[in-house]
Structure 1
Amino acid sequence: MIVICGGGILGLSIARKLLEKGADEITIIEKEKDLGVHASGRNSGVLHAGIYYTPDSLKARFCLKGNLLMREYCKEKGIPILETGKVIVTKSESEIQVLKELYNRALRNGARVELVDESGVKEIEPYARTVELALYSPLTAVVNPIKILEAIEKELTESGKVKILKGVKFEKLKSSKEILTNRGSLRFETFINCGGAYADRIAHEFGVGLKYRIIPFKGTYKKLKKEKRYLVRGNIYPVPDIRNPFLGVHFTKSYNGDVYIGPTAIPALGRENYGLLRDIDREALKILWQDAYLFFVNEKFRNVALTEPRKYLDRFFFKDIEPMVEGLSIEDIEPSDKVGIRPQLVDWEKKELVMDFLVIKEGNSVHILNAISPAFTSAFAFSEYVVNNYILQEVRRNAL
């Protein structure tokens, strides 16, 4: 039996790909009572188009392909998709060189992009502001992540070959072929760790990836007031700091018409610390110590830690986004209950944030670490890679 730990987009996508390859006994365990409670259901719903990522990285290899596969799936299942595209705008002349680097990266990654001047931006996003140039991505789209998770869940359960056990939490490894959950023991031939924010803990139980630790970052959002939604047609993004894996606070018109502004990247005090002080657990002191240590030894982390928490305050949040959209005032922004956690992997030996997806195979277990943006976009393409390169041989060996 194949056991997949985690019922997020990657766990479901891997199960779907295994079915295509002929697997017929798959169990997915999900600690929550519903799917999409965490990252897979809390993201912005943006299908990215391969712009930001270093060529030859896993993110670069699978983002655009994943985008196209996810589009095809949505159309096949009748799931709404907003094909509105995206502009990446500059706030100052100093960002133009980085914008051109993004353009070159995108071309090397096979993405469809175009450099446009200020008048060209106005044709795409009439109220967007940029300095001299902007980058246009026509293949960026927006979907409802929950609807996609529901469609895949239905597909898997109707196959009769996949069980999805909700409310079942991984606790520890009992033996090389058995885990303990809060609902008792579960045997497996192949174990696949898609544990998201807890993937490092699970991997460590298997003696895998001991030098890696997850540090959570909180992504908070605000919204444009209803009467100001017209300011954004699709997606307006800033030029990011490409030394870090965060894309910056941006504007996204969602599938329900709301225009969300976010996310921030604020160091969090827990893997599920969605509120200001809510959901802080016994790990908070350890996370605080790790954050403090990285603050002193890693300049890139220090920059994030100094700038992002200020965005809890409306005036700093508005200062960050005001140059991107004409006619915007601080009164046009209202609170939103949308918030997510980005489980960022850190190589603790190097004291560096890991920029790419990471897959580690050890014996009959496979561990997917750092499944952060664009993991949702990449899921169908990335899962095919994981199945073909890390899982299929083990499954076939067990079938003999």
Structure 2
Amino acid sequence: MFDIVIIGAGIVGLAIARSIAEKTDKSVLVIEKEESFGRGISSRNSEVIHSGIYYEPESLKAKYCSRGRDMTYAFCNQHNIWVNRCGKIVMGKLHQTNDLEALHKNAQKNGVPDIRLLEPKEINALEPNIEADIGLQVGCTGIVSAHDLMAAFYKISQEGDHDYLFKSKVVGADSKSDGYEISIENAQGELEKVLAEWVINAAGLESDMVAQMLGGDYPTLRYSKGCYYKLSSKWRGAFNHLVYPLPDKKHGSLGIHLSFDESQMVKLGPSAHWIQDRTEDYDVEENLLDQFFTEGHRYIPDLKKEDLSPDFAGIRPKIWLNENPMSDFYISHEEGKGFPGWINLIGIESPGLTSAIAIGEDVASWII
């Protein structure tokens, strides 16, 4: 019998485990279907610390992104994790002025600090290799080593004597008088069962299916696949800020943007298209080259097609509500649905990396 079972060892599951370890000595089992932590959504993204400019005021995404942003910078500084508060520029053409101004107003409503509208001369001074008519500078955006951040959470969790079960998949869940019985298919294909007083469903791409094991009405997910293309080494160190177009509302994404890593290597992405059958396909389609070149060339005038090559792909678990691809997180202690001690976290896509520490603190506080 464990006090707590956490399903999923991605950035959010690890952040919850870390917060529990720092606050209590309760016994914890973390179940992960991959061979190690952070192999899914958490390691296949732009590694951006988001500012909170995009999200509906009062939404969970706005709340957790704003809190989590500052907490992530502080945690990284405390634990010597590589982070770069480089800022970003959201840029557009003249006909997009109203959209950019609306984004600026939304950022103000969300209390995002260090933002200002830019004119072409200012954009050129900040980023000589970028061409745009209008821009919004966001100074509190940054990039982080997602792996190092997760490794730090994992270390703290292990120091709290938490148990980890890798290569193991949750295949069933039953409510019992004293908690929940979780059925697990282990690495050898054998069925195991564990009991827990609390269950935290942070299963990422499969979080809706895990929730539905108990019965009841929960959000369902739709997969949005995003591919990245890297720029050749001649572009290394050519940019000082992350560079974004205006959001792609049709696919619920932030558009094909420019980012870089600790080595200053530059990538474009992600693209966004729906996966109909919910398969975890991480192949990067080479036929996307023309799309990436077209999108990138709009704001990088000297970009050549031969500068681009396939890099990696990721999948976002998006809640699909009323045909709205820009839906919010679903984070709920399901006591009101008759399942006390069961917490669901469904549709934790971007800004999940930024929000993780803040989400972890709140979920831990519900238990302790």
TM-score relative to the length of structure 2: 0.90
What's the CA shift for 1:7? 0.5
**How many aligned positions are there?**
351
Tell whether 2:320 aligns with 1:346: yes
Tell whether 2:291 aligns with 1:316: yes
Spell out, residue by residue over 1:196-246, the C-alpha distance to the aligned partner (whole angstroms, 9 max, x if none): 000010011012434x22111111010110012343223110011346531
Gaps of 5+ in 2: 187-191
What's the CA shift for 1:23? 4.7
In 2 relative to 1, CA 361–207 (structure 1 residues): closer, same or farther, beyond 3 Å? farther
Distance 1:259 1:154 in 2: 30
**Structure 1 counterpart SS, 2:63:** helix
What's the CA shift for 1:149? 0.8
**Candidates 32, 35, 38, aligned match of 1:33:** 35
For the aligned residue pairs, the C-alpha RMSD in angstroms reads: 1.8
Tell whether 2:228 aligns with 1:228: no
Residue 2 of structure 1 corresponds to which residue in structure 2?
4
**Structure 1 counterpart SS, 2:77:** helix
Structural mapping, 1:17-96, within 5 Å: 17-90=19-92, 92-96=93-97
Residue 205 of structure 1 corresponds to which residue in structure 2?
213
For 1:378, the aligned partner's letter is S
Distance 2:47 2:279 in 1: 21
What's the CA shift for 1:382? 2.1
Distance 1:58 1:150 in 2: 26
Q: Are the equivalent residues in 2 in contact too, given 1:84–1:138 (CA < 8 A)?
A: yes
Q: Bigger shift: 241-250 or 108-117?
A: 241-250
Residue 246 of structure 1 corresponds to which residue in structure 2?
253
Spell out, residue by residue over 1:318-369, the C-alpha distance to the aligned partner (whole angstroms, 9 max, x if none): 1122111231121221221x1111111113xx34435111123322211111
Gaps of 5+ in 1: 277-308, 396-400
Q: Are the equivalent residues in 2 in contact too, given 1:233–1:253 (CA < 8 A)?
A: no
In 2 relative to 1, CA 275–335 (structure 1 residues): closer, same or farther, beyond 3 Å? closer
For 2:76, the aligned partner's letter is C
For 1:228, the aligned partner's letter is W
Q: Are the equivalent residues in 2 in contact too, given 1:244–1:355 (CA < 8 A)?
A: no
In 2 relative to 1, CA 271–208 (structure 1 residues): closer, same or farther, beyond 3 Å? farther
Q: Are the equivalent residues in 2 in contact too, given 1:173–1:205 (CA < 8 A)?
A: yes
Q: Are the equivalent residues in 1 in contact too, given 2:83–2:144 (CA < 8 A)?
A: yes
**Structure 1 counterpart SS, 2:236:** helix
Residue 196 of structure 1 corresponds to which residue in structure 2?
204
Residue 168 of structure 2 corresponds to which residue in structure 1?
168
Distance 1:354 1:222 in 2: 24
Residue 329 of structure 2 corresponds to which residue in structure 1?
357
Distance 1:80 1:51 in 2: 23
**Candidates 125, 128, 151, aligned match of 2:127:** 125
Percent of matched pairs sharing the same residue: 30
Q: Bigger shift: 320-329 or 141-150?
A: 320-329
For 1:205, the aligned partner's letter is M
Q: Bigger shift: 147-156 or 12-21?
A: 12-21
Structural mapping, 1:140-155, within 5 Å: 140-155=141-156
Spell out, residue by residue over 1:76-134, the C-alpha distance to the aligned partner (whole angstroms, 9 max, x if none): 111111221100010x2221111111111111111121111111112322211111x20
Q: Are the equivalent residues in 2 in contact too, given 1:36–1:42 (CA < 8 A)?
A: no
Distance 2:326 2:84 in 1: 31
What's the CA shift for 1:26? 1.3
What's the CA shift for 1:19? 2.9
**Structure 1 counterpart SS, 2:163:** strand
In 2 relative to 1, CA 351–197 (structure 1 residues): closer, same or farther, beyond 3 Å? same
Distance 2:82 2:5 in 1: 31
Distance 1:157 1:18 in 2: 11
Q: Are the equivalent residues in 2 in contact too, given 1:69–1:380 (CA < 8 A)?
A: yes
Q: Are the equivalent residues in 2 in contact too, given 1:30–1:168 (CA < 8 A)?
A: yes
In 2 relative to 1, CA 105–244 (structure 1 residues): closer, same or farther, beyond 3 Å? farther
What's the CA shift for 1:386? 3.1
Distance 1:127 1:259 in 2: 13
What's the CA shift for 1:267? 1.6
Distance 1:86 1:119 in 2: 16
